[in-house]
Amino acid sequence: MGNDKEYTILQLAKIITELTNSNSEFIFKSLPIDDPVRRSADLRKAKRILNWQPTTPLKEGLLKTIAWFKDNVQND
């Protein structure tokens, strides 16, 4: 579902390059006119109706996602 903690794309990119030992360069471009400046999931309804809340820390979830891609996606 997500997490209600907000991260910038740059923060996420830095964490992912760190976890993957990547030397990728970051390219900065102008945002599209209609692009939201802020995004954060509103989990109040999930917490109230489903009694659900996020339990996996960001880095742990990213490591699991990275491992899945390594195991399931072929590099050409």
Contact 21, 14 (CB under 8 A): no
Tell me, yes or no, whether 1 lies in a domain.
Answer: no
pLDDT at 35: 86
**To 10 degrees, what angle do helices 9-19 and 58-72 make?**
60
- pLDDT tens digits, residue range 1-57? 678 788 888 999 999 999 999 999 999 999 899 988 777 788 899 999 999 988 999
Q: Which domain holds residue 54?
A: 9-28+37-72
Domains in the chain, number: 1
- Angle, alpha carbons 67-61-6 (nearest 5°): 140
Q: Please state the separation of Cα 3 from the chain's center in Å.
A: 9
Domain of 59: which CATH number?
3.90.25.10
Percent of residues in the chain assigned helix, strand, coil, to nearest 5? 45, 0, 55
